[in-house]
Every structure is written in C-alpha cells, then in structure tokens.
A and B are shown apart, each in its own frame.
Chain A
Amino acid sequence: MDLLTTLEAGVKMVILFGGLMGAAAYLVLVERWVAAWIQDRLGPNRAGIPLTKIRLFGLGQPIADGGKFIFKEEFTPGHVEKVLYFLAPVVSLTAAVAVFAVVPFGEVEIFGYRLRLAVAPGVDVGLLYLVAVSGLGVLGVLLGGWASNNKYSLFGGIRSAAQLLSYEIPLGLALLGIVLAAGSLRLEEIVLWQAQTGLWNIFWQPLGFSLFFLAAFAEAGRLPFDMAEAEQELVGGYHTEYSGMKLMMYMVAEYLHMILASFLLVLVFFGGWHFWGLSGGEPAVAWPTALLRVLILLGKVLVVIWFFMVARWSWPRFRFDQIMHLAWYVLIPIGLVYVVGAAVLAEYGPDWAARLGLSLPLFMAAANWTIFLVVWVAAACLVPAHYDNRPLRGPIRPQAPAPETIP
C-alpha cells in the first residue's frame, strides 16, 4: 500500500466520520420533529444562533444538545465493573462506525483517476464483513448490561443479545438469496447489477425484502422491536447506569445502526444510487453525475429513515416472547424456504424461462412473487398466533369451568 492510497483512505475516513456524527446529531432533531408532528405538537423550533433572536426552525438544537452532553456530569456508580463499564460504549460505537467502511457511494473519474467513494473499496467479502461487524455491536450492549451490575441493565443486555442474535439469522438468509442471484458479495457489484438491468431487487424479490426489512428493524433496535431499552419496563435497559458522554456514545451507536440498516435496504433492494432517467449503469462517471448519484442515494436513505421514524409511532411494541416467536417460528423457516427457492431459481430459472418462452426477469419476478404470496398466506394460516403468554400446561392453567357451575 503506497502513501497515496493511505492518504486517500484517511481523507475518506475523516469525511465519513464527520458526516456520520453530524447525521446522527441532526437525525435526533428530525426524529423529535416527526414525533412531535405525529403527536400534534410543533417540536423543537427555538434553538438557533446563540445570543441572537434568530431561530432557524430549531436547527441549532443538536449543537446545544451536544454541548450539554459534553458538560454534563459523568457519574460512575460505585458498584460497576470498571474496565468493562468503560469499554462497553466504546465497543458499541466502534462497531457501529466500522461497518460503514464498506458502504459504497459510487465511483467518480477525476483527471483520469478512478476514485471509488468508499473507505475500503472493492472488499470482496463486503456483505460478510458488514453482517459480522454489525453483529459485534451486540457485544457492547451485552458488556454494558453486565458491567453495570444492575438488574435492569442486565435484563436489557440479555434481551438485546437474544433478540439481535435471533434476527441475525433471517437477515443473513435474506442477504444470501440476493447474493445467490447477484453472484457477488460486493455491495458495489450488487448496486451495479441493479443499475444495469434497471430493475431494483424489491420488484422481483418481495420475500427477501420483507424478511430483510423486518430483521433490519429488529437489528436496529427500533420500535416495535426495541426490547433492549423498553423504557416502560426496564427503566433504560442496558444504559440505565450510563451518563454523559458514555450515554451519548450508546445513543449515537444506536442511530448509526438505524442509518446502516437504511443504507443496506437502499443499496441491496432499492437500487443504491440508480434512478431511472437520472443515472445509468456505467460504473465510473464524471463528477456532476457522481454527485447526483450520491444525492440520490442519500435521498433514498432519508426516505427509509423517515419511514423508521414514522413506524415508531404506528405500531405497539411486541412482547419479548412474541419477538422470539416471530424470529424462530416465522422468519427463520421462511428464510430457509426463500434461500432454497432462490438457489433453485438461480440454477434452473434460465432453462425454465426459455422453455416457457418468457424473458428471464419476467419469469423470475413471477416465480418470486408466487413464492412470496404462498409463503405469506401459509405463515398467516399455519403459525399459531402468539398472543397469550400464560403457561400452557400444569395446574396453573385449568380448563375454564362451565359458566353455570359458578355460584
């Protein structure tokens, strides 16, 4: 690795890190706005430029919040396990940031030099790295819960670990189907493949999309899957004992998870930087088109993030056993069916399409939509709905006596 490459990576890292921190700060503001509007309020609209009357719709709020966090007292309770307690938020944040190394923003050609807009461009195991490192975030949560030496924290950590580990499986299975179809683990290739055909994965992979969407929600720990820090039940979950900057590191890591989930959804299912009529399928382009592509990508990501925020207020939280039930009884079997279906279609699809006289994309879309509908209806009919968490047998749960025997 020569000096130029190192320098290039360094500059990209600084830009990406700064961008992510800024994005996390401003997304907190956006989330508060969306929450307020949904609750028929106006939301934060006061903080502007300090010492003036200029308000700027409250855009100064994140800076004020950041300043507040820096100057807040950072209290360390006496009963915690010191080393792990300090290490846990760092692990969480590091894992959340490191994942973005392989997220591609496209390619640009300047003065004959092909600049790939990703910190670690062309990683052959891009998707594997992504899934593995984002799974590392669980470690931070679990360590924090354990090191806090507190019942609520421990429960939050355990719940979170169980949930995240369970949902890694359907997440991986959904990605596996896409990887089988695209024939590459590189995110750049997957985006390029969608751009060249002009057919985003969501249009012909509905089952993979639904699986990935649900699992991504759970991975990001957002409502309706926010068991790890269900405030109404667990005080604050794993970060009950944290304050000041350490709490902020957890919060930022959580937001980065959401941003990552949105990026993944856009890159893998919504065609990345591709948009019909605006950017075509050629890999490297001049800077105006490259800029347009980045803007398209960020726009799509913002739409997905906005959906995350609205979804938070739309549906009630699942109970913990329901979350586990959903993962192990519904999503994982569906994921297995999906992977087998994707493998069969990848192997025999071209043959069958030729025999039926259909074009390949049309045949694939029809087959996948059929599988999707069949699996969805089957899951709805066959899997018993799980809304009663009382014990199923034993003396605790007798048969209800007939009404006339009750005096």
Chain B
Amino acid sequence: MKNVVGIISGICNSAALESLTKSRPISTVPFGARYRLIDFALSNMVNTGIRTVGIVTPYNYRSVLDHIRSGKDWFLDRKSGGLFFLPGNDRENGGSGSNFVLRDLLENMDFLKKAREEYIIISCSSIVMNIDYREAVSFHQNNDNEVTFIYKDEGFKEGESEGVFFIEQSGDRRVKEIIPGKQRRFNGSDKALLNIVIINRETLTRIVEEYGENGDSDLFDILGEMIDSLRAYALEFRGYAARISSLKNYYNHSMKLLDSRVRNELFMRKNKIHTKITDNPPTRYGEKAEVINTLAGSGCIIDGHVEGSIIFREAQIEQDAFIKDSIIMQRNVIGKDVLLENVILDKFVTIKDGTVLRGEPGNPIIIEKAAVIGPEEGDNEKYNLRSG
C-alpha cells in the first residue's frame, strides 16, 4: 500500500452521544472494554499497510492526542510517513451531521500536496468494523476509478437514516446518485455509505480547492453534486459494521459484542484492532465473583455479580454488587450492595454502597464522567434512580 495515504476525520457526528461526547469527541468514546472508537478506523488503515495517516482533529481534541500520542501503538511512529495531526476548523458545534468538511482539508492542503501517493482513503472514526482495504484499492486502481465508495445494506428503516448517505448504482457498480438520508425515497436504495471513500489525490485536491472556501461544504454532498462527471464506483462490505450515531445505538452495538460471531469478526481475525497499550495487570476475580456473559478488560477487580455487561479496564466491583446489562467504563468503582441495570457509567465514576440505578431496557441511564453517585453521609434512605 505504498501508493495510499489515509485521512481520518475525527469530526463526523462528534456530538451525537449526549454526555459521552460532552468532554470528548466521538472518536475517543470508549468502546468494547478496552478500545476507543477511533481505534477501528486507525487499525483498519494500518492493517491494510498504509503507513501515512492524517487525523483531522475535532473540537476538544485533548483526548485524541492523549490516546494516540506518537502513533507508536499503531506502529505509526515512522521516519518516512507516519502519523500527522491535521487541525480542523470545526471546533464549536462539533460539526454535527457533517462527515468531511472540505474547509478542514483546505486548511491542511500542505498535507495533501506534500504526499507523493496517488490515492487517499478517507474514513470517519465512528464506525466499528474490521476491514482490509486491499480489495477495494485494487478495484479502484484496476478499474481506473476516481472515487470508490464502500457501502453496506444495514436495513435502515424509514426515518432512521438521518445523516446517512445512500447510493443508486448501475449494473457495472458505477454510482449514479448519492441520496442524503433525509431525501431517501420510500422503497429507495438500501445501500448506505460507510463513510469511507477511496479517492485519487488529484481529484480530491481539485475538489478541495474549488469548494473548500464554500462554508461548511461536506465532501459527500459535493461528490453527490458532481457524480455524473466522476468515475465513481461502489463496493459492498459484507462484514460486520456498527455505525455509532446515538446513545441508543452505542448501547445496542456495545451489547452486540457479547455475541461470539461479532467478537470473532472484530477481534479474532489476523488483522487485529490496536489500541493504546496501558500495561495493566490481568483481571482478578474474587472468591464471591459471579460473572456471566460479560466482556472485560484488564486490570479489573471483580467481586460481585455481573451479567450481560461490558466492563472496561481497571473497574472495581465490590462484593454483593449486582450489575446487569450495563456498560462500566475505565476505573469505575462500584460499591457493595449496588444494583445497576441498563446503566452506562462514563470513566472514573464512583457508585457508593447500596445505590440502586435502574434504567429501562433500551433507554439506559447515563452517568457523567467522574460523578460520585450515592447517598450522602448519614442518609439512610437508599439512593434510587430510574430513567424515564
């Protein structure tokens, strides 16, 4: 993959996950017991053999820098090529709805011009998938494409597809039309773009120079307008892909990791998903631990009952705690006799002894980063919270 450069947009849908994206962009939202969402996009590029990757930074990107640092954990600390941070414009509103703001690429024109590679793969950072781009790149090269999209039929229902682009193709896989989700016709195409595009560097440079000054134009909108004049094709991705675009589907897609087929596809292949290495000890299960159907990271100390849950690195769960259908993030401390059901705890949360938090199925309670939840000193009433 000597001839390909990667660009990852940290911006797409960056404010979509309510309080999970209050202090961080969507790229660094924790996922799957030890990962951040951007790990998937970044690992896919590295595993394909791409050795130069630019990351367009979203608003509030401290957590992106903290997570990726020199790129060493993705083997991107290179003498030639390597990892580049491309400061994006779009800081305030988090670019909700936008995927690839052309103005951000214009600001980083030097990166595009300096590259000697002919092709660019642009990907957003909020889709969980394990894809090797080699097949798509050879199709792009052999078929002499200018643009190659990757799509998947995700079975979107009516009214669910805002922010998603769909395509109509002709028989030879050429893209005839790009349809924004809002304008999707009843019984229209089910081919949803996975926010990944392979594009000739020359074509991209031309588009950025022509449209980049133009407000917050989105690359996909512009490609849609230009579609007739482009050699644009699309390939289907048949593997597992989870598009994270709301708190609800974040929760549901997290829980799908408990399915061995999903886990095998994401984590057990030759191409591994890389993440920041933290050197935790293994996880310790206590005498009284009762854990079933749960995915757990390293460095946890688990003494309570856990089922149907995702437990991130270094969480502590004390005796007689009962946790069901919940997402427990890094360094959460769950006290004795706590009951959690349908709950998402952001990082560093402490749940004091005896607290009960019970969300409704499909409507989890979410607790903000570093919150301390539970009864005040001397308060004998149990702390009790329900969603709804």
A binds B: no
Interface residues of B (CB under 8 A from A): none
Interface residues of A (CB under 8 A from B): none
